[in-house]
Amino acid sequence: MTTQSRATLADVARLAGVSSKTVSRVFADAGNVSVDTRERVLGSAKRLRFRPNNLARNLRRGGVTNTVAFVIGDLTNPFYFTVAAGIERELALHGLTMVLASTDDSPDSEERVVDALLSQRVRALLLIPIAEDQSYLDGERQLGTPVVSVDRPARNLIADSVVLQNRLGMAEAVRSLTAIGHRKIGFISNPSGIYTQRERLAGYREALREVGVTHTGHWERLDDDPAVSAEQAVQSLLALPDPPTAIVAGNNRGSAGAVRVLRDQDPPVAFIGFDDFELADALGISVVAYDPIELGRTAARLALGHLAEPDAFTKQVEIPTRLIRRGSGEIPPPR
Amino acid sequence: MTTQSRATLADVARLAGVSSKTVSRVFADAGNVSVDTRERVLGSAKRLRFRPNNLARNLRRGGVTNTVAFVIGDLTNPFYFTVAAGIERELALHGLTMVLASTDDSPDSEERVVDALLSQRVRALLLIPIAEDQSYLDGERQLGTPVVSVDRPARNLIADSVVLQNRLGMAEAVRSLTAIGHRKIGFISNPSGIYTQRERLAGYREALREVGVTHTGHWERLDDDPAVSAEQAVQSLLALPDPPTAIVAGNNRGSAGAVRVLRDQDPPVAFIGFDDFELADALGISVVAYDPIELGRTAARLALGHLAEPDAFTKQVEIPTRLIRRGSGEIPPPR
DNA sequence: ACGGGAAATGTCAGCGTTGTCCGAGTTTGT
DNA sequence: ACAAACTCGGACAACGCTGACATTTCCCGT
């Protein structure tokens, strides 16, 4: 009594005494079917537990599905998931579903994963570029599949992209520290190779240069080694002979580490994180915040827009950031 | 110069001067094709940007895809996303991809969303039941699609399920409070209708009954109204004429609220949350913890197991919880 | 009663792939 | 040297559905 085979249109048609096309009409078109027939068909379908096969339907209809792919690097990072939530919501408004795939932050697997998804004939592809080079996607793009790169720009590929105001956001944070007198400001982040971190680092340096601080190398902790935790990075900064009076973090992992170390630091060290987090308000941590849901929604909208207007120019969107002052970033330097 | 049509097996075959079956062999079987032909075919495929159409392949192969669906209630809840991460990982090991769909915690949309996914011929269905009744899935189950209900048992449906040790975990937390003398213990959670909350509430009552406390109603805050935040619930407990000396939270949202209110409470109120969270260690918050990734992996494994052995009995798995003592749960009652 | 037009239903082919079966060419065994 | 076995490649049909087009049925006015 296992797996009896699935009913098809033809089975339903036979039972209802109509042609399969009529059944098809009942389930798809909804046009030109008498109420009588319609009910008879629906009855038979129910009895046979019929469910239309979207595979066949989509194939027949020209190989387009209702699926949009989102390729994510690290699934356990809450940031990406929130972005995914935004994407899903926007897609749902248009009757599309999202498939999620992970490259496990491994550049090598990116093309493999993407390829598998494209074989599924996804309607559009959203991805967080991990590999060095996305030129392999150019063919697909020319075939009309919208490609949107999320959080980082794609390399060697013309594609829509949505990124954060990384540089500006970080510069604003650092400026708010220099405005109250800080000059010795540490920067922690890892890993350093990534676009977002490079941008934020640039913003940090830029803001410091504005107040005449040009040598920042010894205050930068950009550890590629994941074993070096944010906590250790902060500690190594504090252990300097001339330690910074303020620290900024380039990513959300840095914030948690910094909070742990800096809580019982005396004299207190100012801190501003990048990316808001739960309880940051209760803890009084100032952060550069942005709306990750909106990042996802925007990415989805770009894809949908491209679908509606295939010949439009490529768009680059920046999601604004804003500094939220909660106290930790307003601690003045000790005098 | 838009959307030139996509190359098919036949196109590649024509260019390579072979039959389409041979091209098919190159891309699928890998059997019985000479090295010469193989390379010629691959060359032509590349030139034409050919990519096999999985829609057609799956249809031909009998309508089975490599996709497993996970139907989630609320996309923004980090708990579900972590579960999803676990599912994705386990599936990836078996070459399957995950599609994620949301019911937006609306019982009405559950059947609609599930139906759409089943029409896509997903290989298995994992879902967090939201609706009152999942009997509508019985037909599909009989057709051989594994159905696994996650975090809550399905209702009126025979299906594998994975849930947490809700009752035991909560009871353990409360016992650890009663062991150090607490008797007046508040319980916050919302909404109350949900299985997990009912179970945890039962665990709470059970542990209190063991020490002779049977009237707990006035210490229970089970607000269905989402406008009543966890913070307000905690505050209303503290405002009682005879306020509790300890509070336990039935969900992760409760913890954040409790932390905010209880930080500057004097005399200090003991607290234990359900579900671990970032910085809980730094804040010294005791919690009942569990591994959400493992919850996801287990759900995926159940589905895979059912796929491998369709006639196996239905399985119910409980994911263990454990109490992590970090201080907030070890505060004794004031004397 | 009859023609005409719209509504309801049917026929047929084909979307892109692969399983089955078959044939031609090549190697192996005795 | 000849059958047997094996390798490589092709023709054809079918997976379940729908678009184009054809046909039947029904209703209405005159």
- The string of pLDDT tens digits covering residues B171-216 is 999 999 999 999 999 999 877 678 999 999 999 999 999 999 998 8
Instruction: Please list the pLDDT of chain A residue by residue as tens digits (335 residues).
Output: 344 678 999 999 999 999 999 999 999 866 788 888 899 999 999 999 999 999 999 999 887 888 999 999 888 888 888 999 999 999 999 989 999 888 888 888 899 889 989 998 999 999 999 999 999 999 888 888 999 999 999 999 999 999 999 999 999 999 999 999 999 999 998 776 789 999 999 999 999 999 999 988 889 988 776 667 888 888 989 999 999 999 999 988 888 888 888 888 888 999 999 999 888 888 899 999 999 999 999 999 999 999 998 888 999 999 999 999 999 999 999 97
Note whether B111 and B203 are same-domain residues: no
Residue B75 pLDDT grade (very low, low, confident, very high; cuts 50, 70, 90): confident
Range of the domain at A218: 166-289
User: Residue B32 above 90 pLDDT?
Assistant: no
- pLDDT band at residue B1, thresholds of 50, 70 and 90? very low
Contact B278 A256 (CB under 8 A): yes
Q: How would you write chain B as a 3-class SS string?
A: CCCCCCCCHHHHHHHHCCCHHHHHHHHCCCCCCCHHHHHHHHHHHHHCCCCCCHHHHHHHCCCCCCEEEEEECCCCCHHHHHHHHHHHHHHHHCCCEEEEEECCCCHHHHHHHHHHHHHCCCCEEEECCCCCCCHHHHHHHHCCCCEEEECCCCCCCCCEEEEECHHHHHHHHHHHHHHCCCCCEEEEECCCCCHHHHHHHHHHHHHHHHCCCCCCHHHEEECCCCCCCHHHHHHHHHCCCCCCCEEEECCHHHHHHHHHHHCCCCCCCEEEEECCCCCHHHHCCEEEECCHHHHHHHHHHHHHHHHHCCCCCCCEEEECCEEECCCCCCCCCCC
User: Residue B54 is nearest to which of A121, A139, A311, comparing CB atoms?
Assistant: A121
Closest residue in A to B112 (Cα) is A95
What pLDDT is attached to residue A1? 38
Are A234 and A90 in a shared domain? Answer: no
**Does B2 sit within 8 Å of A310, measured CB to CB?**
yes
In this structure, which amino acid lies at residue B270?
Answer: A
Q: How many residues does chain A have?
A: 335
Is residue A227 a part of any domain in this protein?
yes
Domain membership flag for residue B331: no
> Strand C-proximal residues, CB under 7 Å?
A 13, 17-22, 25, 32-34, 36-38, 56, 59-60, 62-63; B 5-6, 8-10, 20-21, 24, 27-29, 50, 52-53, 56-57, 59-61
Do residue B176 and residue B273 come from a single domain? yes
B39 and B116 co-located in one domain: no
Do A217 and A137 reside in the same domain of the chain?
A: no
Say yes or no: A173 and A150 in one domain. no
Q: What is the CATH number of the domain that holds A182?
A: 3.40.50.2300
Q: Which of B76, B259, B279 lies nearest to residue A259, judging by beta carbons?
A: B279
Retrieve residue B302's tokens.
Answer: 């159940």
Q: Residue A248 has what pLDDT?
A: 96
Asked if the model's pLDDT at residue B62 lies above 70, the reply is yes
**pLDDT of A208-223, one tens digit each?**
999 999 988 889 988 7
Please check whether residue B154 lies inside any domain of the structure.
Answer: yes
Q: What is the pLDDT of residues A63-116, one digit of tens each?
A: 788 899 999 988 888 888 899 999 999 999 998 999 988 888 888 889 988 998
Side chain identity, residue B23: V
Q: How confident is the model at residue B30 (pLDDT cuts 50, 70, 90)?
A: low
Q: Within 7 A of a protein CB, which nucleotides of strand C?
A: 7-12, 14-20
Is B53's CB within 8 Å of A121's CB? yes
Considering the domain boundaries, does residue A184 fall inside one? yes
**pTM to 2 decimal places:** 0.89
Q: Which DSSP string do the residues of A8-54 spell out, in sequence order?
A: -HHHHHHHHTS-HHHHHHHHTT--S--HHHHHHHHHHHHHTT----H
Residue B176: inside a domain: yes
Residues of B in Cβ contact (< 8 Å) with A283: 279, 283
Which strand (E) or helix (H) includes residue B101?
strand B97-102
Domain match, A271 and A173 both: yes
Q: Which residue has the higher pLDDT, A161 or B105?
A: A161
Q: Nearest residue to C16, CA vs C1'?
A: B56
Mark whether A80 and A158 lie in a shared domain.
Answer: yes
- Residue B295, both tokens: 């919850």
* Residues A17 and A160 grouped into a single domain: no
Based on the domain organization, do B195 and B283 belong to the same domain?
yes
Residue A62 placed within a domain: no
Residue with tokens 């999320």: A150
* Residue closest to sugar C1' of D16 by CA: A56
Domain CATH for A15:
1.10.260.40
Consecutive H or E run containing A71: strand A67-72
Q: What's the total number of domains in chain A?
A: 3
Predicted pLDDT of residue B4: 60
Task: Measure CA B98 to chain center.
Answer: 13
Q: Which residue of A has its CA nearest to B277?
A: A278
**Mean pLDDT, all residues of chain B:** 90
List pLDDT tens digits, range B286-302: 999 999 999 999 999 99
pLDDT of residue A226: 65
Nearest CA in chain A to B47: A139
pLDDT for B34 equals: 82
Residue A57 falls within a domain, yes or no?
no
Same domain as A157, residue A99: yes
For residue A171, being part of any structural domain is answered with: yes
- Same-domain status, A128 and A218: no
